[in-house]
Amino acid sequence: MIDWPLAELLPHAGDMILIDRILSFDDEQIHTHTTVKPGGLFNREDGALPAWVGIELMAQSVAAFAGCHARRRGDAVELGFLLGTRKFECNVDCFPVGAELSIHGVRSLEDDNGMGVFECHIHAPGIHATARLNVFRPPKAAHYLHEPSATGNPS
C-alpha cells in the first residue's frame, strides 16, 4: 500500500476525494480502493452510491496514477481533465453502503502532448464495472484555466 496522502496526489480536496487509498502502482497501472460510506456528496438517500459515480472513481484513480508518478519524479502534481468515457458498463445500478470497491486502471496510450487513454475496472463481490477513459494532462494546465478579461485581453 502507498502511504502518501491522497490530498497530495490528487488535484481534489475534502469530500471530493472519493478513493480511500492507493494499493499499488507501476509504470503502466494503478490499483486503488474505496469503501462506500453513506453521507457523501453523491450518495442516494439510502446511502448507496449511484453506479455512474464509478466513472469518477476511475478518473480519480487515473489522477492518482499521474500524482504518484509526479511525486516519484519529485515534480508537482499537475491538473488533468477527464475528456470523456467510452463504453461505461456496470452490472448494478448502485454500489451499496459498505461495498469494498477495488479500482484498477491500465494505461493503454499516452502521448507527449498529455493525451491519454486508460482501461479501467471496478470489482467487488457481485459488482463489475468497466470503462475506457480519455484524459488530458496539458503541459501548462494553468493556461487552460486562465480567463481573459472583459476587454478580451489577458489580465
Q: Is residue 76 part of a domain?
A: yes
- The one-letter amino acid code at 31 reads H
Nearest residue to 61 (alpha-carbon basis) of 142, 99, 140, 116:
116
How many domains, the chain?
1
* Amino acid (one-letter) located at 71: R
155 located within any domain: no
108 vs 41: CA distance, rounded Å: 31
Look at residue 12 in the predicted model and tell me its pLDDT: 78
Residue 27 lies in a domain: yes
8 A C-beta contact, residue 99 and residue 36: yes
Q: What is the residue-averaged pLDDT of the chain?
A: 89
Structure confidence at residue 5 (pLDDT):
86
pLDDT at 139: 74
Q: Is 8 among the domain residues? A: no
Task: Quote the pTM value.
Answer: 0.88
Q: Is residue 152 included in any domain, yes or no?
A: no
Nearest to 68 by CA among 120, 102, 31: 31
The cell 468497466 sits on which residue?
Answer: 130
Flag whether 6 is in a domain: no
d(CA 153, CA 155): 6
Domain CATH number, residue 74 = 3.10.129.10
Output the CA torsion sign for 142, 143, 147, 148.
Answer: positive
C-alpha 137/C-alpha 69 separation (Å) is: 13
Which residue range(s) make up the domain with 24? Answer: 19-141
Contacts of 150 (CB under 8 A, 6+ apart): none
- Is the separation of the CB atoms in 64 and 118 below 8 Å? no
> What are the tens digits of pLDDT across the range 114-155?
799 999 999 999 999 999 999 998 876 666 666 665 555 554
Residue 7 near residue 63 (C-beta atoms within 8 A): no
Residue 46 has pLDDT above 80, yes or no: yes
Q: Does 48 fall in a domain? A: yes
